[in-house]
């Protein structure tokens, strides 16, 4: 069973922190990302390493072409 929610079906609450997935460069030929993000003003914002370069920090900003999202899991209790 998948916990992923299609963005066409429902969007997160304003300010909700979620896990977002989609394709970079607005098409299925781009690399799929899965990243934590925050939903604000009808946009998913987060961090994705667009260059696959571990030496530089990932870019922060609007997530490219999100397709699905899910709530963050509950934090550990121990």
pTM: 0.76
Please, which residues have CB within 8 angstroms of residue 68's CB and are 6 or more apart in sequence?
4, 5, 6, 7, 20, 21, 22
Give percent of the chain with pLDDT exceeding 90.
38
Average pLDDT over residues 61-72: 89
Q: Which of 52, 57, 54 is nearest to 24 (CA)?
A: 52
Quick check: 55 pLDDT over 90? Answer: no
Paired sense of beta strands 43-48 and 66-71, if any:
unpaired
Average pLDDT over residues 4-9: 97
d(C-alpha 12, C-alpha 24), whole Å: 20
């Amino acid at each position: 069973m998948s916990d992923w929610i299609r963005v066409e079906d429902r969007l997160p609450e304003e300010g909700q922190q979620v896990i977002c997935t989609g394709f970079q460069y607005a098409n299925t030929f781009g690399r799929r990302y899965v990243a934590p993000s925050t939903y604000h003003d009808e946009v998913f914002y987060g961090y994705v390493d667009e260059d696959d370069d571990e030496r530089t920090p990932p870019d922060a900003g609007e997530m490219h072409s999100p397709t699905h999202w899910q709530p963050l899991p509950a934090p550990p209790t121990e």
